[in-house]
Every structure is written in C-alpha cells, then in structure tokens.
C-alpha cells in the first residue's frame, strides 16, 4: 500500500521501504549526490544528498540516499541549513580531490568555487573521495576484489594486503562508476593495465579489436555455461552480422 508525504510542500507517493532520494528523483525533485547508484547499496558517503526531515515535531538533517520514507513526514531539500552543510561537505570533498575536473564542475553547480581546507595528508589514490562506489560495484558483480583498507585518515581503496588479485577480471566496472575518474587504467591493442596488473585482451576473430580481458571472458563463459566461442566477436561485428542476416531475410 502506497504512503504519502511531502517534499518541498509537494505531496508525493512512495512504496514502503523506498529510499527518499530515489522517490524525490522519480518525482522530478533533484537532490545532488556523488556516491549513489540505484542498483547499489546506499551508504551516504559523500553527504551531498543532505535534506531536512520533520517528523513528530522534530526537524533533523539526514542523508536522503539511505533514509527510508515514512507516511506524513515533511522534507526540505534546499533550506538554508541544507545548503550550508551541503556546501561544507563539498569543500571537504574538494580538499581530497582538488584536481578532479568532474568534481570541480559539480562544485560550481552548487556554488562552491574553492575549499578552505588543506589537501588530504594521506591519499595514495589521487582524487579519490572514498565514495566506495567502486567497492560496491565490484561486490555487486560477485568479484569482491576491492575493499576499504585502513582506518581514519589512513583509509583508502585497494586490494587486500595491497597485492594484485587473480579474482580481478579487469572488467573496469570500478572505472565506469568512479565520479572523479581517479582509478588508473591503460588499454593497448592487446592488454589492459589496472590495479597493478596487466591483463591480456581476447580479440575479435573478425576485426581484431579487444572484446574483453581473457580473464573476464573465461569467467563469464564458465559462470553462465556458455559455448567457448560465445565471446569471440565484438559487439560491432555481432551487430553487423545480425544486420546482414536481417537483410537476407528481407530479400528472400
């Protein structure tokens, strides 16, 4: 049964158990965030999705990505208090990633052009804001290679014991979700370098372009019980072959 509540004096409906940020965006109410993907567990790491929520006469600041909606509550997404703390959190993020173009552009959208805080004393992965999107994406795919290492100011993203893992398939899902483009990756015609290891590409039998890493290919074929030649052509060649077959059918 749907529940009703208000966001910025607008009544909205949601299902029990839904997160506030998802409901707001579905209703066209934009709340900024850097660490949120609907398909991944929410952890409120970046703190940019702050809102004020009033329940039982009490009004508090909270992250909206991991806040479950409740009937009758009132939410404010752009109050003076929200904007003040949101800007402060962005300054803290800029201190960790001062050279990240995407972060600086996002900061400008929030009216933040500089940070009053000094650079992070320890940040071995330059421009990493510890959002953990890469860790959560890796876990979602069942690889569980990346993790958070250390505590406090020594906290960082990495692999256990800071050693390359043969469980890493080189799929680059971590790179795709990173909001600051901080994960080093280098592709050549035959191999990918990522997280301190070089992984050989499986090449398309038709055009010779990389399809995926051989480690990823072997894992996918084994895990899904696919034919050995299932990933021996790239998407472009597969689409071309499909188009040719379609054309033959039309001609006939």
Q: What is the CA radius of gyration of the chain?
A: 23
∠36-73-110 over CA atoms, to 5°?
40
Q: Name the nearest CA neighbour of 75 among 121, 126, 12, 122.
A: 12
Q: Do 91 and 119 contact (CB within 8 A), yes or no?
A: no
HSE-up (13 A, CA, CB side) for residue 90: 25
- Each residue of 60-77: pLDDT tens digit? 999 999 999 999 999 999
Do residues 154 and 176 make contact, with C-beta atoms less than 8 angstroms apart? no
Q: Does any domain span residue 27?
A: no
Asked, for residue 146, whether it belongs to a domain, the answer is no
Total number of domains constituting the chain: 1
- Domain assignment present for residue 199? The answer is yes
Query: What is the rounded distance in angstroms from the CA atom of residue 202 to the CA atom of residue 214?
Result: 5
Helices 101-109 + 80-96 axis angle, to 10: 160
| pLDDT, position 189 | 95
> On the CB side of 27, how many CA atoms lie within 13 Å of its CA?
19
Question: Is residue 207 one of the residues assigned to a domain?
Answer: yes
Residue 154 lies in a domain: no
pLDDT digits (tens, 9 = 90+) for 211-231: 999 999 999 999 889 998 889
Whether this prediction's pTM lies above 0.85 is answered by yes
Stretch 24-28: mean pLDDT: 96
Separation of alpha carbons 68 and 55, rounded Å = 13
Full domain range(s) for residue 194: 184-252
Q: What are phi and psi of 244, to 5 degrees?
A: -65, -40
| DSSP-derived secondary structure for 60-122 | EEEESTT-B--TT-EEESS-HHHHHHHHHHHHHHHHH-TT-HHHHHHHHHTT----SSPPPS-
Interatomic CA distance for residues 131 and 57, integer angstroms? 32
As a whole number, the mean pLDDT across the chain is 93
- Does any domain span residue 109? no
Give pLDDT tens digits for 112-158. 999 999 988 889 999 999 999 999 999 999 999 999 998 888 899 99
Within a domain: 125 = no
From 187, 230, 237, 229, select the one nearest 207 (Cα to Cα). Answer: 237
- In this structure, is residue 88 part of a structural domain? no
């Amino acid at each position: 049964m749907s529940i009703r509540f208000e966001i910025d004096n607008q009544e909205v409906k949601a299902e029990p158990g839904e997160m506030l940020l998802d409901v707001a965006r579905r209703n066209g109410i934009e709340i900024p965030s850097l660490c949120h993907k609907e398909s991944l567990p929410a952890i409120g790491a970046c703190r940019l999705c702050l809102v004020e929520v009033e329940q039982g006469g009490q009004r508090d600041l909270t992250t909206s990505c991991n806040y479950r909606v409740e009937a009758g509550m009132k939410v404010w997404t752009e109050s003076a208090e929200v904007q003040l703390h949101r800007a402060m959190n962005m300054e803290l993020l800029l201190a960790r990633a001062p050279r990240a173009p995407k972060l600086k552009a996002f900061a400008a959208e929030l009216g933040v052009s500089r940070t009053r805080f000094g650079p992070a004393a320890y940040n071995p992965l330059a421009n990493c804001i510890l959002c953990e999107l890469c860790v959560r994406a890796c876990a979602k795919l069942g690889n569980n290679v990346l993790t958070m290492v250390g505590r406090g100011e020594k906290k960082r993203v990495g692999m256990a014991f800071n050693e390359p893992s043969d469980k890493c398939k080189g799929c680059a899902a971590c790179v795709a979700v990173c909001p600051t483009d901080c994960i080093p990756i280098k592709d050549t015609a035959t191999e990918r370098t990522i997280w301190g290891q070089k992984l050989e590409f499986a090449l398309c039998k038709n055009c010779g372009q990389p399809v995926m890493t051989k480690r990823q290919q072997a894992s996918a074929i084994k895990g899904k019980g696919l034919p050995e030649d299932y990933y021996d052509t790239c998407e472009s060649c597969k689409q071309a072959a499909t188009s040719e077959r379609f054309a033959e059918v039309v001609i006939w």
